[in-house]
Structure 1
Amino acid sequence: MNFFGLFPSSEKKEIVETLQMPTPIHNPIPKKTFYLVSASGMPNYGDDILTRGWINYIKNIYPDAIIYLDAVDPLVASNLYEDVNCVNFLWQLAQALGENGSIEDKFSDHSVLPIRERLMSEIFNNTDSIHLLGGGYINELWAANLRLIELVSYFGKKNNILTYATGLGLQPLSEEKASQICQFIESYFCFDVRDYESYRVLEKFLPGKISFIGDDYFCFPFSDVVSLVEKETPVLRLCLHNEFSEGDENEKLFIEQVEIAISAFIQRFPGSLIRFYEFRPGSDGYFYKRLKQKFPIIEMVFFETIWKHGLQFSTKDYFLSTRFHFQLIASSVGLSGTSFYWSEYYKNKFDSLKYVSDWSFLNLGEEQLDLESFFEIRGPSFLIDFGRVEREKKFLANRLYQSTNLQHLS
């Protein structure tokens, strides 16, 4: 250290003084790194609000956390979520492996491993947990997606990472496939499903291992998605699609039922609004265009608007839907309506809501809409199990992410 101010300028001298300064030791708390996997990015509002719910939940607990989201389309997903690293490592790997490819063979020789897989491996070297988020995207309809369960297990064991799955709907799932994936589920810290049929087929092979509570939507504040507003006149709210429609006859029957409901609404409430909600861009617009031709007063509420502003309903409104999460969202503020289904896939999804949602369910082709029942005035109400499911799902979320030491959860 140089000291010149102690002497007159004519007698400046340099004094060299060596000080033994201890080096400060900083032990910052390392940032948590979480790896989430979901069917986000198509987009599909149901899958994406669950993903946003988990991201916000984690950020509230760990504001500095590094979050990776393995999404169907990371480009679209990156426009939906802030401060999240959107990738599609596991999604692409699952599709590349197909039903028969070996993950062990793929990663057996690092010298021939493509850079994509090396980048993936590097991320998992520093990850605290891998979490398969809720939804109905893993089943035998899309058989390659079942590999996601195996991939999460593989990287979890390889890197000593906690692995979770919550709120999954795995139907359709045969006992043969269930027995295959159960060997991977066994290594999960938590494996939670949202419907009884998924629970039943897995519990047979892993008794006591499988959790069955309900959809991940119950993990988060409903007010982040929906609110009730006061309105003097009712609105007819539609959220419809034709996925898995089994032929033109079912589609024709469906259109007829919806048109009957719309005509009756217009007759009962002339001048009232009719709104069509786009949950899946590029898909839901098909029915909107068909209905708009006959009923020009119908207004489309686009995905972007719903994503930014959420949903607003009133207790005077009426609802027709084929979408699982539209029904669940309306039910979360005590409102009821009618859902249509025409496949076992959707029948199972809606069956899983019967104990938390006071809606009518119509099997297209076998049942018809009862207009008197549809327009019956009902106040907001909740089924007994609704509160229980909400409490248990929030407890589950706390258990997975609010431990002070994630490596010692038990």
Structure 2
Amino acid sequence: MGNSIYLIASGGNPNYGDDLVVASWLRFLARVRPDASVWLDCPQPGTASALFAGIHPGFRATNTLWRACADAPDQSAHAVWDHVADRVDRGGTPMYDIGLLALGNADSIHILGGGYVNGVWPDHVGLVAGMAAVQKLNSCRLTASGLGLTPLTENAEQLAKTFAEFSAISVRDDASAEFLGLKTGLDDVFLGLLSELRRSVDSYRVQSRAQDVMLCIQSDMTDETTWSGLRDKLRYVVEMSLANDLSVGYVEAIPGSDRRMFEALEGLIPEKNFVPFTQVWTDGLPVRRGQTWYTTRFHPHMIAAAAGAKGVAIGVLDGYYDIKHRSLLDLGTGWTYTSAGSASELPEPTGSPDFELAAARLAGRKRAEALALYPVR
């Protein structure tokens, strides 16, 4: 295996979950491939350079394929696919050629996990088209891990045919596995789960922000009526928690977007109990045993449950977030799931005392998958 690794991911925007996927792989590669040149193709390479600085000595960031997807005149899945494949194959423009040189010199191209290659963002199929186009030019190794591919894109058949030619591929949910005829795999954050738990649970600074009840609620990917209804349900939860002398905190997984619900609760949660993205990224997620979580975000569900917290996973987009959260429920988090648009009040939080140990075993499974892709030399 060569010494030039090209990663593709949606991290770097910033977004706690997507960024944790990238950081997990970079830390792993720093141990097994410390001398490699590691390129990350992502939407915001400038922010990514700051977020992931120092994790891998050979790390560099670019946006070659992401930019090619965004520049397609027609943003349908079929049109973006053809546009990116043609851009890689033909080159010939100074705006792209320097980035295409790094892509063309890659010994392996690995699209990292997350739910970003699907019908919610059909233009992102261009990332896979670009991978296939490079492989035809230089015979590099193509791999994928931890993807969530539902809802399916309009060119699903073309996507499946291309993935079938990859050296290795894994997906994180049953629907994606059924689509490709695979066994269900694991989300990529399981690769870095134990490290994330250690830095969170073992840090006094993080634990001082781990309140009895924690919220992490997004304002994107939902309509105003659903969001307003969820606000009213959460207000009741917070008021009841405070009435029972429980402390309440709030986590921001995506800067700005996730703060909106905190502000909508109109001072019920003290400002000192608000944990901004920067704090989460530098110190860890404020999780501990005995907590209760209410989150629309997928990765806080995973990490809080693995730390021993109970919770309610709230789906904001049926056909997307319900599949994501149910992939964790199927692994045994024991949490309760509800749709944000449900007419009823939020259910009582639940958990499983067995998931802490199960999560450690799952992390071991994910490490075995990673070692199969990048064996220790």
Shared fold, TM over 0.5: yes
Aligned residue number for residue 18 of structure 1: none
1:358, 1:383 within 8 Å by CA — same for their partners in 2?
A: no
Q: CA deviation at 1:299?
A: 2.2
1:157, 1:187 within 8 Å by CA — same for their partners in 2?
A: no
In 1, distance between residues paired with 2:9 and 2:252? 20
Question: Aligned runs of 1:244-393 on 2, under 5 Å?
Answer: 244-246=221-223, 248-269=224-245, 272-296=246-270, 299-344=273-318, 345-356=320-331, 357-364=333-340, 365-370=342-347, 373-374=348-349, 380-382=353-355, 386=359, 389-393=362-366
2:250, 2:269 within 8 Å by CA — same for their partners in 1?
A: no
Does the alignment pair 1:106 with 2:77?
no
Aligned residue number for residue 51 of structure 2: 80
Q: CA deviation at 1:128?
A: 1.9
In 2, distance between residues paired with 1:191 and 1:280? 28
Please give the per-residue CA displacement for 1:297-334, whole angstroms capped at 9, x wherever unaligned. Answer: 66221111111111232323221111000000112223
When Rg is computed on C-alpha atoms for both structures, the one with the higher figure is 1
Question: Aligned runs of 1:210-225 on 2, under 5 Å?
Answer: 210-225=182-197
1:195, 1:349 within 8 Å by CA — same for their partners in 2?
A: yes
1:315, 1:380 within 8 Å by CA — same for their partners in 2?
A: no
Please give the per-residue CA displacement for 1:211-243, whole angstroms capped at 9, x wherever unaligned. Answer: 521101112352335543698995211111122
Does the alignment pair 1:183 with 2:156?
no
Aligned residue number for residue 118 of structure 1: 97
1:237, 1:275 within 8 Å by CA — same for their partners in 2?
A: yes
With over 3 angstroms needed to count, the CA separation of the structure-2 counterparts of 1:297 and 1:262, relative to structure 1, is: farther
**Gap runs ≥5 in structure 2:** none
Q: CA deviation at 1:191?
A: 1.6
Please give the per-residue CA displacement for 1:242-270, whole angstroms capped at 9, x wherever unaligned. Answer: 22223x3312220111111101110111x
Aligned residue number for residue 17 of structure 2: 46
Please give the per-residue CA displacement for 1:133-188, whole angstroms capped at 9, x wherever unaligned. Answer: 111111111111011112112212321111111001111115x5221212221221
Does the alignment pair 1:202 with 2:174?
no
Match among 36, 44, 51 for residue 65 of structure 1: 36
In 2, distance between residues paired with 1:127 and 1:336? 44
Match among 241, 244, 262 for residue 218 of structure 2: 241
Matched residues, percent identical? 26
Q: Flag the structure with higher helix content.
A: 2
Match among 55, 63, 67 for residue 92 of structure 1: 67
Aligned residue number for residue 7 of structure 1: none
Query: TM-score scaled by structure 1?
Result: 0.80
Please give the per-residue CA displacement for 1:96-126, whole angstroms capped at 9, x wherever unaligned. Answer: 234314445435555xx11243223321343
Counterpart of 1:93, as a letter, is: A
Query: TM-score scaled by structure 2?
Result: 0.87
2:7, 2:38 within 8 Å by CA — same for their partners in 1?
A: yes
With over 3 angstroms needed to count, the CA separation of the structure-2 counterparts of 1:234 and 1:77, relative to structure 1, is: closer
Please give the per-residue CA displacement for 1:326-364, whole angstroms capped at 9, x wherever unaligned. Answer: 000112223221121132211111111112221111123
In 1, distance between residues paired with 2:317 and 2:84? 33
Counterpart of 2:87, as a letter, is: K
Q: CA deviation at 1:201?
A: 2.0
Question: Aligned runs of 1:141-152 on 2, under 5 Å?
Answer: 141-152=120-131
Counterpart of 1:195, as a letter, is: D
Question: SS of the counterpart of 2:69?
Answer: helix
Question: Aligned runs of 1:119-158 on 2, under 5 Å?
Answer: 119-158=98-137
With over 3 angstroms needed to count, the CA separation of the structure-2 counterparts of 1:142 and 1:316, relative to structure 1, is: same
2:8, 2:112 within 8 Å by CA — same for their partners in 1?
A: yes
Q: Which moved more, 1:384-393 or 1:303-312?
A: 384-393
Question: SS of the counterpart of 1:106?
Answer: helix
**Gap runs ≥5 in structure 1:** 1-29, 204-209, 405-410
In 2, distance between residues paired with 1:66 and 1:263? 52
Q: CA deviation at 1:384?
A: 8.5
With over 3 angstroms needed to count, the CA separation of the structure-2 counterparts of 1:35 and 1:265, relative to structure 1, is: same
